Amino acid sequence: MTTRPRLAVWGDPIAHSRSPQLHTAAYRVLGLDWVYDRRQVTAEAFDDALAGLDDAWHGLSLTMPLKERAFAAAASVDRHAELTGAVNTLLLGERPTGFNTDVGGIVDALGDDGITGVRSVRILGAGATAASALVAAAELGAEHVDVRARRPERASALIALGGRLGVPVDVDVLDTAPAAVDLTISTLPGGADLDESVARALSADGGALFDVAYAPWPSALGAVWQQGPVISGLGMLLHQAVRQVRTFVNGDPAAPLPDEHAVLTAMREAL
């Protein structure tokens, strides 16, 4: 009897994740009888949970707070993961391979709204997703990135990453008067409490808004944004998942799937 390949998304919390719907829709179109579940796993429990998987397991999607743990567990990583220190996709086997598909997910989602190049970007937040946003900004041609965070001291790694990418990074607190930019990428958690006066100040010359959050929607920023377009994180969720499916099927997040248009349509309908 052949065992059905198993995959899952792990994180804490995890009940809100839409990854099972997205992946199941994709594998149905591809004619693959694969099982994709969700599991609540804390950062402290990650190593033991990973070690407990048997040979039926083909891959994992990782959300917060497990991306750094997955990076440490990978025997090798792709360039996006190496740059950010974060893995959201593990291709399992004797030597697990780690990928970061969030970077491509941001680029692809912005492309859906016609944003294929920028010169100046503001990133809100200084966590793991901010690093992916910085790499995405560099790939879109950004010449300068302004990072705003509640705790600017956490952004030292982003300054160093900007140096590697050849993109100058300035850091300040959220409520400092902002300079004009082409694009604002908010990596603040969904439902983050953001003072309306700060949100309005950020929106005044913030260009387009790409908010990685999508629940609740609109976000505190999206509700008051004075410029446009305002783009929710659903596009990033969709496109990073497409790249995960490519990884699990082809071993390469950049290698297109068979009949990818039909796969993408089914995944979009599953959102």
How would you list the strands of the sheet with 35-40, edge to edge? 35-40, 6-11, 57-62, 89-91, 97-99, 76-77
Residue 183 a catalytic site member: no
- The residue written with tokens 């629940």 in the block is 215
Give the active site residue among 6, 18, 67, 243.
67
Strand 208-211 to 230-231 pairing? parallel
- The residue written with tokens 């086997």 in the block is 93
Active site residues: 67
